[in-house]
């Protein structure tokens, strides 16, 4: 990733990720909440209001896409990941964070695990099954990271 690359932050909320990177990259956010989008626009970045899956980006492509704590909320996660792949330029990257259903805390706590938050959390992944999905979609390199007691994991998928 280089200065000026185009970044799309899906589920940008009030702009936590964009605040950190908007001085280095050409940033666009997607946010379903109009109120949060208004807050994020104060950073001077474009924010599209709506459901990511239903937005027509036309011919726009991005060098990187971030999706932080969003995948578990989506009713169509695999299709959304496919859309990310389609929107990423060759050699681009998808960075995401999601709850870790394979994590030690979930195995120890069982049904008392904090990651179980229906109806807010609709789907659950672990590093292993997410890697399989991302490779099937077409990503060429997938790296996941998680701390042993971390309830979330991080993923970097390269196109």
**Long-range contacts made by residues 27-33, C-beta under 8 angstroms, separation at least 24?**
28/62, 30/55
For the chain, count helices (H), then strands (E). Answer: 5, 7
Calpha distance 8→64 (Å, rounded): 6
Task: Encode pLDDT of 111-124 as tens digits.
Answer: 988 888 888 888 99
| Residue percentage of the chain with pLDDT more than 70 | 99
pLDDT tier, 150 (very low <50, low <70, confident <90, very high otherwise):
confident
Residues facing residue 20 across a β-bridge: none
Letter string b/e over residues 104-124, b meaning 16 or more CB atoms within 10 A of that residue's CB: eebeeeeeebebeeeeebeeb
Indicate whether 81 belongs to any domain. Answer: yes
Indicate whether 55 belongs to any domain. Answer: yes
Indicate whether 1 belongs to any domain. Answer: no
pTM of the model: 0.92
Task: Encode pLDDT of 83-96 as tens digits.
Answer: 999 999 999 999 99
Calpha distance 66→69 (Å, rounded): 10
Calpha distance 95→101 (Å, rounded): 18
Whole-number mean pLDDT of the chain?
A: 93
Indicate whether 22 belongs to any domain. Answer: yes
Query: Domain containing 10 — which CATH number?
Result: 3.40.50.150
Domain that residue 136 falls in: 6-158
């Amino acid at each position: 990733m280089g200065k000026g690359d185009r970044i799309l932050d899906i589920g940008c909320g009030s702009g936590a990720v964009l605040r950190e990177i908007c001085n280095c990259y050409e940033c666009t956010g997607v946010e379903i909440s109009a109120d949060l989008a208004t807050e994020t626009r104060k950073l001077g970045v474009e924010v599209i209001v709506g459901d990511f899956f239903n937005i027509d980006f036309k011919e726009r492509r991005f060098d990187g896409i971030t999706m932080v704590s969003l995948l578990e909320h989506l009713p169509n996660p695999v299709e959304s990941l496919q859309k990310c792949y389609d929107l990423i330029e060759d050699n681009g990257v998808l960075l995401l964070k999601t709850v870790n259903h394979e994590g030690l805390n979930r195995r120890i706590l069982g049904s008392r695990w904090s990651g179980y938050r229906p109806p807010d959390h609709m789907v659950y992944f672990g590093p292993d099954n997410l890697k399989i999905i991302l490779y099937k979609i077409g990503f060429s390199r997938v790296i996941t990271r998680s701390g042993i007691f971390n309830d979330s994991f991080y993923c970097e998928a390269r196109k």
